[in-house]
Chains A and B, each alone.
Chain A
Amino acid sequence: NAGVTQTPKFRVLKTGQSMTLLCAQDMNHEYMYWYRQDPGMGLRLIHYSVGEGTTAKGEVPDGYNVSRLKKQNFLLGLESAAPSQTSVYFCASNILAGNYEQYFGPGTRLTVT
């Protein structure tokens, strides 16, 4: 049981390039989330999904797109990277609605130059 995994662990992009971050969970969780964390700050929610085929916007969705084609995977896309998107990205999952603990991945450190 690997829990929540993220690919890649590190990435450097040039401004305007695109990339996709992959999150996978093997716990059969319905809910999945993408957060970003800037230095010295708490995490902020980018997008989330309440089930396969569904996505919704979080607090800071601009510049990102997501897809949940399979229940176990949640993809975060940057179509045209900007330096302001330099951050650490965390994926998380939740088994069900309500007050259940969220499980987080190890993070992806992205630098946009």
Chain B
Amino acid sequence: DAKTTQPNSMESNEEEPVHLPCNHSTISGTDYIHWYRQLPSQGPEYVIHGLTSNVNNRMASLAIAEDRKSSTLILHRATLRDAAVYYCILRDRDSGGGADGLTFGKGTHLIIQP
């Protein structure tokens, strides 16, 4: 799987939008961009994923650059509960049927100030 680069940590204020960047300059045409987050002392949880177009769901939005070499996870109004480590992961659409698991980096530690 292609490599992703994320900042080690970011800080934001409660009730403000948060933009979490991810660089993936070696992304291939069949790589989906997935985001997971891990709250303290919990297992990771799925946030969102996309291929080319921007995506929205109840948790967040995913903005994908036109050249797909970078993406941004947007939390529209951060709460204290959003404090977590956020992982940007590339997953090949044709990767053995998804049987090879997810490749986690160190992610971005998001700190939310009240």
Contact = CB atoms under 8 A, between A and B. Distances in A.
Interface of A: 4, 31, 33, 35, 40-45, 48, 50, 56, 58-59, 90, 92, 94, 96-107
Interface string B18-36: 0000000000000010101
A44 B44 contact: no
Q: Which of A35, A40, A42, A92 has the most CB of B within 10 A?
A: A42
Contacts of B91: 99
B42 A106 contact: yes
Contacts of A106: 42-43
B32 to A, nearest CB: 5
Contacts of B93: 98-99
Interface residues of B, number: 25
A33 B101 CA distance: 7
Contacts, number: 69
Interface of B: 32, 34, 36, 41-46, 49, 87, 91, 93, 96-107
A56 B99 contact: yes
Contacts of B97: 50, 97-98
A30 B43 CA distance: 20
A99 B101 contact: no
